[in-house]
C-alpha cells in the first residue's frame, strides 16, 4: 500500500492505495455529450501510465523514426505527448488535502473539467499544482497525479497479487451492457479494441474464426472486414482457429491456432498455458475475459425459448426478454484503443499490416463502419 505526498511540502494527498493494471479505457472518450460517465478507478486503487500522456503534444512529423521507436511506437499516429511518463491514475474521492485551481477550472471542458490545460488541482498546504481532475461529459471521472509533483510513500505491506485461481474465484467481471446508457458497456469497447489489435497480428493476414455467441458478436464482424474471406484449402485463406483459454478452462486442443487469454487485473501480466500451446496469445482485460469465459455461457444456458417444465401452445415461444448478454446496438470496438495498441506492436511494420493500418488511419472507405 502507498500514499502519495506533495513533492513540495510532503503533505499527504491520497488515501492508502494499492496498484492495479492500467485499464484499457483510461483515455477513452465515449460518445458525445454523455453526462453520466462514472468514476473509472475502484476506490483504494491506482494505476500508472508508463507512457507520456497529456499536454504538451507534438505532431508525428516532428519526431524522427529513432525517437518514435525508442518510445515504442512503430506506426504513424496523429500526435505524441511531450509530458513526463508515470502519471498516476486514481479515483477523485481518494484524494486528501487538495483544492481546485480556479483559473484552470474551465480546462477546455464542455459540461465539467476537461483537463486540457494541464494540472487544475493543487496541494492545499503549499499551492503546488499536483493533479488534473477530469469529469467532463463523455469522459470517465478521474484524477491524474503529475509524476513530477508527487512522491510515492509506503503506507503498509503490499497485498500479494491474487493467484489466477483466486482471480477466477473472485469473478470480478464487467457486464457487456450498461443499463443506464442502454448501450454496450463503455469499458468493453476499448478492451475489445485493444485485444483486436493483437488478434490481427496473430492472424498473419489469414482469416480468423472465433467462438460463437458473445465472442463472435464482439470480434467476428470487424475481423471479417479487416481480413480476407476464408477459403479452406487455399494457401493463405484457410481460417485460423481462435479459442478462449485460461485458468479454469480446459486446455485448448491441438486444432487451436490462437488463444484469447486474460491479463492479470493487478500486474497486467498475460496468462500463459502450461504446455506453451497455442503459441499465439491474445491478451484481454480480465474483467471482460471472465464474463466471456464463464458468465455469458451461463446466461445463454439459463434462458430457453420454451419453459423447462409445463408448456406453451404450439408455435408460441417465450416473450420475456433474453438475458442481457447483448445490446440492441451493433458492437463497434473502440478505434482509438485499437490504433493505439496496434501502433505499439512492432509487427505493424509488416507490409500487409502496414497497408491495413495506413488505410484505417486515413479513414479509407474500405474499412468504414467497422469501428
- What pLDDT is attached to residue 370? 86
Let me know: does 20 contact 265? Beta carbons within 8 Å: yes
- What pLDDT is attached to residue 316? 60
- What pLDDT is attached to residue 266? 95
Task: Give the Cα separation of 129 and 63 in Å (integer).
Answer: 29
- What pLDDT is attached to residue 107? 54
Beta strands in the chain (DSSP E): 2-6, 18-19, 45-49, 57-59, 79-81, 87-90, 98-100, 121-123, 129-134, 142-145, 150-154, 177-178, 183-184, 208-209, 240-244, 258-263, 280-285
- What pLDDT is attached to residue 367? 77
**pLDDT tens, position by position, for the chain (371 residues)?**
999 999 999 999 999 999 999 999 999 998 887 777 899 999 999 999 999 998 889 999 999 999 999 999 999 999 999 999 999 999 999 999 999 998 877 656 677 888 888 899 999 999 999 999 999 889 999 999 999 999 999 998 877 899 999 999 998 999 999 877 778 999 999 999 999 999 999 999 999 999 999 999 999 999 999 998 877 766 778 899 999 999 999 988 888 999 999 999 999 999 999 887 788 999 999 999 999 999 875 544 444 555 555 555 666 655 555 545 566 788 999 999 999 999 999 999 999 999 999 999 886 667 778 88
Let me know: does 177 contact 322? Beta carbons within 8 Å: no
- What pLDDT is attached to residue 267? 95
- What pLDDT is attached to residue 34? 78
Q: How many CB atoms lie within 10 A of CB 120?
A: 24
Helix, coil or strand: residue 117: coil
Task: Give the Cα separation of 233 and 236 in Å (integer).
Answer: 9
pLDDT in tens, 301-311: 444 555 555 55
Tell me if the bond preceding 56 is cis, omega within 30° of 0.
yes
Between β-strands 240-244 and 258-263, what pairing exists: parallel, antiparallel or unpaired? parallel
Cell, residue 328: 440492441
Sheet holding 240-244, edge to edge: 208-209, 240-244, 258-263, 280-285
pLDDT in tens, 326-348: 667 889 999 999 999 999 999 99
Amino acid at each position: 500500500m502507498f500514499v502519495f505526498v506533495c513533492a513540495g511540502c510532503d503533505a499527504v494527498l491520497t488515501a492508502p492505495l494499492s496498484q492495479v493494471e492500467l485499464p484499457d479505457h483510461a483515455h477513452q472518450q465515449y460518445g458525445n455529450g454523455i453526462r453520466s460517465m462514472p468514476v473509472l478507478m475502484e476506490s483504494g486503487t491506482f494505476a500508472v501510465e508508463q507512457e507520456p500522456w497529456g499536454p504538451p503534444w507534438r505532431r508525428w512529423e516532428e519526431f524522427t523514426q529513432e525517437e518514435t521507436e525508442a518510445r515504442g511506437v512503430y506506426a504513424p499516429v496523429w500526435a505524441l505527448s511531450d509530458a513526463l511518463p508515470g502519471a498516476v491514475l486514481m479515483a477523485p474521492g481518494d484524494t486528501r488535502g487538495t483544492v481546485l485551481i480556479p483559473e484552470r477550472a474551465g480546462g477546455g471542458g464542455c459540461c465539467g473539467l476537461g483537463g486540457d490545460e494541464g494540472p487544475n488541482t493543487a496541494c492545499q498546504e503549499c499551492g503546488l499544482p499536483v493533479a488534473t481532475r477530469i469529469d467532463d461529459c463523455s469522459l470517465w471521472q478521474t484524477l491524474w497525479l503529475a509524476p513530477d509533483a508527487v512522491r510515492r510513500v509506503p503506507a503498509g505491506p503490499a497485498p500479494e497479487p491474487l493467484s489466477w485461481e483466486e482471480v477466477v474465484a473472485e469473478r470480478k467481471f464487467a457486464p457487456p451492457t450498461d443499463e443506464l446508457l442502454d448501450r454496450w458497456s463503455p469499458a468493453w469497447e476499448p478492451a475489445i479494441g485493444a485485444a483486436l489489435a493483437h488478434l490481427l497480428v496473430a492472424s498473419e493476414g489469414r482469416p480468423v474464426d472465433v467462438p460463437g455467441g458473445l465472442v463472435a458478436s464482439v470480434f467476428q464482424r470487424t475481423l471479417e472486414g479487416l481480413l480476407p474471406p476464408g477459403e479452406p484449402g487455399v494457401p493463405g485463406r484457410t481460417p485460423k482457429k481462435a479459442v478462449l483459454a485460461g485458468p479454469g478452462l480446459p486446455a485448448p486442443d491441438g486444432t487451436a491456432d490462437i488463444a484469447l487469454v486474460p491479463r492479470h487485473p493487478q500486474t497486467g501480466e498475460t496468462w500463459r498455458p502450461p504446455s506453451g500451446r497455442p503459441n499465439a496469445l491474445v491478451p484481454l482485460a480480465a474483467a471482460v475475459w471472465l464474463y466471456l469465459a464463464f458468465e455469458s455461457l451461463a446466461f445463454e444456458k439459463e434462458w430457453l425459448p420454451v419453459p423447462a417444465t409445463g408448456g406453451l401452445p404450439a408455435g408460441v415461444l417465450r416473450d420475456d426478454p433474453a438475458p442481457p448478454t447483448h445490446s440492441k446496438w451493433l458492437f463497434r470496438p473502440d478505434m482509438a484503443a485499437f490504433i493505439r495498441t496496434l501502433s505499439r506492436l512492432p509487427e505493424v511494420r509488416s507490409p500487409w499490416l502496414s497497408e491495413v493500418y495506413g488505410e484505417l488511419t486515413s479513414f479509407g472507405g474500405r474499412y468504414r463502419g467497422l469501428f
